[in-house]
A = this chain, B = another copy of it.
């Protein structure tokens, strides 16, 4: 089985590659070749015996899509995107990469299939940013898409294309709407959502972290490990069971910042909690106020997608996967 990963250098991409290499197979079919593409050079995975091709490409450039699928991969993970803040700041770039780049990929697959039979599985990472406030208490599987960012608009459009191209038989597509990933590894960044991870990751490293919102703020989370699990499950799921409604809200945990902090205290002790400094930021408070708080992802659960069981688990996953099992605090 030949697997193409677009967005292979990103956090989720790298973890997915690790999982694929470790498993060596998907649904009993050996992974024999990996094509890894990103706008920055993807690393070659250690310990993989199959063929690896790495491509450093701009997804929206002419002929990139054709190059990506030239080897007719059986399974395509499309994880690449200009993130929310940048897509909002740079209108043209966001539409060019997130919409045109994705459409060019979908069309390259369609046209390849017109030349000779080709119908890969396409797993597309969408986002809960396809929804816009005001929300019901829990967002159900049939709630409408009214994004309030250009990023969310681009994701919602690609979901529609994914469904239509799948319905037409050009590929077997599935879209998964990821919760906010927590704990995001790496250094603190300026993303408005960064603090949800910062207030846990930094204290686990013995460092201070800033909390810019009230502990009452509620949001929707999954661990990086759960996100990779969603992708792996989406790669093999019987799409006959999914039907024409191809994009799904993934399961997750609806948790307040206060509950995050309580979990940190349980797992890492009060010393860790004391490293969180409250420093309200009106801009972040206003942005986060428009975000989804809770979901009822009944379809995804019925289809076998599983998320973290508790926020304590989310913290433990981070300690195991990122810290080698040890806490600094």
Chain B contacts for A210, CB-based, 8 A: none
- Report Cα–Cα, A163/B145, bound state, in Å: 11
A148-B244, A157-B161 known, 9 other contacts, Cβ within 8 Å: A132-B245, A144-B144, A145-B145, A145-B160, A146-B245, A148-B167, A150-B164, A153-B163, A160-B160
- Asked if A190 lies at the interface with its beta carbon under 8 angstroms from chain B, I say no
- Report Cα–Cα, A157/B168, bound state, in Å: 17
- Asked if A137 lies at the interface with its beta carbon under 8 angstroms from chain B, I say no
- Report Cα–Cα, A142/B132, bound state, in Å: 11
Known: A157-B160, A157-B161, A168-B91. A142 touches B143 (CB 8 A): yes
Chain B contacts for A161, CB-based, 8 A: 153, 157
- Asked if A156 lies at the interface with its beta carbon under 8 angstroms from chain B, I say yes
4 A-B pairs closest in CB distance: A153-B164, A144-B144, A146-B245, A157-B157
Q: In whole Å, how far is A80's beta carbon from the nearest beta carbon of chain B?
A: 20
Q: Which of chain B's residues has its CB closest to A245's CB?
A: B146
Q: Which of chain B's residues has its CB closest to A150's CB?
A: B164
- Report Cα–Cα, A57/B291, bound state, in Å: 43
Q: Is the CB of A142 within 8 A of B145?
A: no
- Report Cα–Cα, A153/B245, bound state, in Å: 12
Contact among B153, B157, B163, B168 with A146 in the assembled complex (CB-CB below 8 Å): B163
**8 Å CB contacts to B: which residues of A74-97?**
91
Q: In whole Å, how far is A137's beta carbon from the nearest beta carbon of chain B?
A: 13
Q: Is the CB of B146 within 8 A of A244?
A: yes
Q: Which of chain B's residues has its CB closest to A142's CB?
A: B144
Q: In whole Å, how far is A59's beta carbon from the nearest beta carbon of chain B?
A: 18
- Report Cα–Cα, A143/B146, bound state, in Å: 11
- Asked if A18 lies at the interface with its beta carbon under 8 angstroms from chain B, I say no
Chain B contacts for A143, CB-based, 8 A: 142, 144
- Report Cα–Cα, A145/B145, bound state, in Å: 7
- Report Cα–Cα, A218/B322, bound state, in Å: 58
- Asked if A147 lies at the interface with its beta carbon under 8 angstroms from chain B, I say yes
Which of A160, A167, A244, A245 neighbours the largest number of chain B CB atoms within 10 Å of its CB?
A: A160
Q: List 5 A-B contacts (CB under 8 A).
A: A142-B143, A147-B160, A153-B163, A157-B161, A160-B160
**8 Å CB contacts to B: which residues of A131-179?**
132, 142-148, 150, 153, 156-157, 160-161, 163-164, 167-168
Q: Is the CB of B157 within 8 A of A244?
A: no
Known: A157-B157, A244-B132. A164 touches B144 (CB 8 A): no
Q: Which of chain B's residues has its CB closest to A151's CB?
A: B164
Q: Is the CB of A147 within 8 A of B132?
A: no
Q: In whole Å, how far is A111's beta carbon from the nearest beta carbon of chain B?
A: 10
Q: Is the CB of B145 within 8 A of A153?
A: no
Chain B contacts for A153, CB-based, 8 A: 160-161, 163-164
- Report Cα–Cα, A244/B131, bound state, in Å: 12
Q: Which of chain B's residues has its CB closest to A94's CB?
A: B164
- Report Cα–Cα, A142/B156, bound state, in Å: 15
Chain B contacts for A132, CB-based, 8 A: 244-245
